[in-house]
Each structure stands twice: as structure tokens, then as C-alpha cells.
Amino acid sequence: MQGSVQAALVADRDADWWRGAVIYQIYPRSFQDTTGSGIGDLAGVTQRLPYIAGLGVDAIWLSPFFASPMKDMGYDVSDYCDVDPVFGTLADFDALVAQAHACGLKVIIDQVLSHTSDQHPWFIESRNDAGGDRADWYVWADARSDGTPPTNWQSVFGGAAWTWNARRKQYYLHNFLPSQPDLNLHNSAVQDALLGAVRFWLERGVDGFRLDTVNFYFHDQQLRDNPPVAAGAGNEVPDMNPYGYQDHIYDKTRPENIGFLKRFRALLDQYPCTTSVGEVGDGARSLRTMAEYTSGGDRLHMCYSFDMLGPAFSPAHFRGCIAAFNAASDEFSDGASWPCWAFSNHDVMRHVSRWADRCDDPGQLAKLAGSVLMSLPGSICLYQGEELGLTEAELAFDDLTDPYGITFWPEFKGRDGCRTPMVWEREAPHGGFSTATKSWLPVVGPHRDQAVDVQSGDPASVLEHYRAFLKLRRTHPALVKGAIEFLDSPDDGLAFIRGDGTERILCLFNLGRHDIAFHVPNGLRATPLPIESFTAQMTDNTVTLRGHHACLATLT
């Protein structure tokens, strides 16, 4: 679809639809296989769009489906403008977009702009011809005098971030796998080529982009060594991976990034109603970087970080994350920056397992956590299977495909446990995901009991709770775009008011095991909203919640 036509079709829509939007992340390899290959495909996503629309979400986010040798499951792109045959064709993608729009869903696609596959033609040319047009499209550097890498920078996946190339007699930079060389965005021609690829998908009608590792785009041109993490900096130093020992001030989050983000936003602004969400991995600085990257109205629309994708599950942590982001937003843009929050995605252990020690009932934990997330200010991402309350799959080493897990097994089992196939039917082969003899990752036994066909129609299920809460959210604008006001609460209690000028909603959560009592602000009357999964006792200005229950109420 041509951009001018796209603009005409969306001209009468809400340009700010992304503010407060609920985005459903799809990992295509694991969603639905229609060919019997054992791997999910784009046609499978199209087949399941009615299910997604029925949840009540606003958009889908598709993890990479581009041409790739799949060394990192598609995050190593060899052609930015084509679909990998394992997922289908460009025609399949166009059909998916058309059907999603017919279902009232926006389509956001992953863009991996910091690096490519080492099989991308750009890298092959850069590697083979040190004097050619693309010689400096990647980050090449001479060895130190003793032959060691030019800096001490470490790869996220373990080991040095530099690999020697005998043909060029130089090292090249890779923040991830050696097969994922970093692009040199200091070169304007590289920026132009990447923005050309972005335009290609805008012309096909996509509504936005999730930007992988958005703060990794630029490196320090002086190639200075990273210092060690300072004591008390708030960064955990994992023994298994030396990456965590460094303060990454020179290999990512460089000031030059802002200029490129402005170029990216200027392109998106040519296509009305499109949006962007950046993935920020910046340790203790992530929330501040999120606010900076979404400030001014000329950078990204929203960002998410890993601050809520970790082990902390406490009122103090959630409140602290939001307060820190809001403080940085006030500093950079008078409060105009916009966050996107998530509890699970394709890179981390599923949160029902991650926080299992906080609650003995995984289903109740799933309902409570989902309710907290869907009540937070900002936009939110739900990861496929989260609405079923799926736990992390326990896999054998021989089942693994993730190079991260293979490297650090068994201390770290990698990301395959959160990427196993979606379970649609309890009794069907591979849970209804595929008819193949073997799927790319196995469907584990416990997941079958949480299949869609088991939970649909059961008012006590996690799935029906998500459907009901999403409907509640959509019918109360204060929960979508309203501001937040935190209230004092007892230990294990999280309390705040969401308000948008037309309504105020009191949100109370008991994250602990024992009953606690909340006090309604003086002079206000609270009328509970119906949430079937939770019970609350209200007397005068006191709301008593059982452990792992919640209450939302309108205030008058």
C-alpha cells in the first residue's frame, strides 16, 4: 500500500492511539504452524487474529520474521525487506496486515537496526573489500599492539565483543553473537539504508515499529575502555557473565543516538498514526534513558526497559520504577515522555515462574500481576501465553536452540523456556500448535492444562480474567491515559488513583499473603468495579483485601 493511500485511510483516526494502548507480542515461530513444518508462520498468525482481537487488545507486535540464517532466531537479519521462507512470503505478510486491520488491530513489527547477520550482503562486501563503498558500514578496528581486541568491551552473550577477521586483519564489533556484526551508524549512508528499509514496511501499511536494542546504535568513536561498575551503582553483577562487571558508557547509550532517533521519528511522521516503541537495556540508567528517548515529541513515542522484567515483585519496586520515570520525564520534557511497561517477553523467564515464591497459587498470581500491569499509567505489552498464566517451560539441554542458554547452561538456561509453542487445544498434537512430528521446541505437559480451549468460557480462568479486565480498562478512559497519584498503603499494599479529569479510579492491590486494610481518601466515596476474580470488604472508608487480591473503584 502506498504511503499516500495509507495516510488517507488513517487521517480520521486517533493519532495518539498508542497512548495507553495494549500491545500483544507474538513470537511467530511459536504461535501457529500452518504448514506442518513444526515452526509457526505468518499465515498462522493471520488464522489466530480473531482470538487476539477477542482479548480486547489494541495492537500486535510481531517478533522478527525477516530473512535470516536464524543464529539468533531472526534477530540476525540478512535481508531487511523480505520474509524468511520459514515464515512465508511478502504476500502472506500483506494478508496478515489487511486482516489485522479488518479486526481492528494495529500491526507493529520488530526492527533490528543495531546489527545484521554476518550473511547480510552489506557485511560480506565490507569484510571482503577494505577499500570499497561499504568498507566502514560496520565497526572495524585495528588490534592493540599486542594483538588483543581494541577495547575491553564485552558481548551480552558472553566473551569479548570483538572478533578477528583474517582478510581485513582487523577486529569487528558485535555486541551480541559474532554472527551479528554491529552496523556503524556514525556513517550517514548506513542510516539512510536503514531508514529506507523502515520506509519499505511503512509503505506496506504497518502501524509502527518495536526497535530492538535501541540504545546500542552508536559506539564511542575514540574506542575508550568501559570502567568497572561502581560500588553502589545499583547494578547486579552476575557471576556467570562478565558483561555485568562493566559500566557500559562507551559501547552503548551514546549521545549521537538522539540525532538518529530524530531522523527516525521524522520519517514516521510522514505516515500518520504510526508509532514506535524502543527496547532500552541500560542497567541502572534505563528509566532515565526511556524518558530521554521519548521526550520532546521528536524522538520515539514510547520505550520499555527491563526494570519490571526482573525478580522484584513488591509495591516499593513498582512505585519506584514509575516515580523514577516520571521524575526523569519532568526533567527532559515537562512530564511529556511516555513509558511502555511489560512483565514478560521473549527474553526473560515468564513472570508467573519468576515471582512464584510470592504466591502459592500460580493462577491467582497471574490474575493479580496482570491486573497490576493493566492498571499502570502508560502503554503495556502482553506476551503471548501470559493471558493463559503460562509458566516457564522446563527443557532439557538437548532441546535448547538459544545460543545464550547453550553458552551459560546450567547456571542460566537461556530464553527457550519462555518461547515454547502457544497451547490452543489440550488434546491436539503439540497443543494445537502444529501437526508436525516434532515442533521446534516441545510443548511441556503442564501447559496443556492451560490451553485456550480449556480456559475459554470458564469464569475462574486466567484467560477470562484477562478478557474481563481488558474490557474494564477500555471502558474507563482514566485507566488508559489518566495520570497517577500514589497513596500511602500498608506493607505489601500498592495503592494509587488514576484520573483523567472526567473520572478517578482507586486501584488497590495486596501483593502479600495476608489480609490488609486500605483507607479511602477522606471525603471520597468508593464504588467498587466488578472484578470476578477478586473479593473485597468495604466498610465506611476502609477496604480490606485478602492476600493476592485487588480492588478497583470509582471515586466520587
Classify residue 110 by its DSSP letter: E
Q: Which residues contact 74 (CB under 8 A, 6 or more apart)?
A: 29, 63, 64, 65, 66, 68, 84, 110
Q: Are 218 and 185 in contact (CB under 8 A)?
A: yes
Q: Are 77 and 69 in contact (CB under 8 A)?
A: no
Q: Which residues contact 420 (CB under 8 A, 6 or more apart)?
A: 30, 393, 395, 441, 442, 443, 444, 447
Specify the pLDDT at position 240.
Answer: 79
Q: Are 165 and 171 in contact (CB under 8 A)?
A: yes
Classify residue 21 by its DSSP letter: -
Q: What DSSP string runs through 399-458?
A: G---HHHHHHTTTS--SGGGSSPP---SSSGGGGT--SSS-SSPPPHHHHTT-HHHHTT-
Nine cell digits for residue 117: 547477520
- Report the distance separating Cα 434 and Cα 405, nearest Å: 25
Q: Are 28 and 48 in contact (CB under 8 A)?
A: no
- Report the distance separating Cα 293 and Cα 291, nearest Å: 6
Specify the pLDDT at position 271.
Answer: 98
- Report the distance separating Cα 70 and Cα 85, nearest Å: 12
Please report, for residues 30, 126, 440, 520, 530, the alpha-carbon distance to residue 540 in angstroms, rounded to integers and kept in the order given: 50, 72, 56, 9, 19
Q: Pairing between strand 106-111 and 59-62?
A: parallel
Which among 339, 455, 439, 456 has a CA at the least distance from the CA of 399?
A: 439
- Report the distance separating Cα 283 and Cα 170, nearest Å: 30
Q: What DSSP string runs through 120-168?
A: SHHHHHHHH-TTSTTTTSB-EEPPPTTS--SS--B-TTSSBSEEEETTT
CATH 1.10.10.60, applies to 482-555: no
Domain with CATH 2.60.40.1180 in the chain: 482-555
Q: Are 372 and 318 in contact (CB under 8 A)?
A: yes
For 333, counting Cβ atoms within 10 Å of its Cβ (0-12 exposed, 13-18 middle, 19+ buried), the class is middle
Q: Please give the helix or strand (H or E) that residue 484 lies within, else none.
A: strand 483-486
3-class DSSP assignment, residue 28:
helix
Place of cell 488514576: 498
**Is the torsion defined by CA of 432, 437, 443, 444 positive or negative?**
positive
pTM: 0.96
Nine cell digits for residue 28: 511467530
Q: Are 100 and 62 in contact (CB under 8 A)?
A: no
Specify the pLDDT at position 403.
Answer: 92
Q: Which residue type is seen at 533?
A: S
Please give the average pLDDT of every successive group of 10 residues along the chain, which has 556 residues.
42 82 98 98 98 98 98 98 98 98 98 98 98 98 98 96 98 98 98 98 98 98 95 59 94 98 98 98 96 97 97 97 97 95 98 97 98 98 98 96 93 95 98 98 97 98 98 97 96 97 96 96 90 90 95 95
Q: Are 504 and 529 in contact (CB under 8 A)?
A: no
Domain with CATH 3.20.20.80 in the chain: 3-115+188-471
Which among 156, 103, 3, 54 has a CA at the least distance from the CA of 464?
A: 54
Helices (H), 311-434: 315-333, 351-354, 362-373, 403-408
Which among 29, 54, 185, 47 has a CA at the least distance from the CA of 122?
A: 185
- Report the distance separating Cα 61 and Cα 109, nearest Å: 5
Rg value, the chain, Cα:
23
- Report the distance separating Cα 149 and Cα 225, nearest Å: 11
Q: Are 195 and 183 in contact (CB under 8 A)?
A: no
- Report the distance separating Cα 180 and Cα 182, nearest Å: 6
CATH 3.40.50.1820, applies to 3-115+188-471: no
Which among 166, 169, 182, 189 has a CA at the least distance from the CA of 118?
A: 182
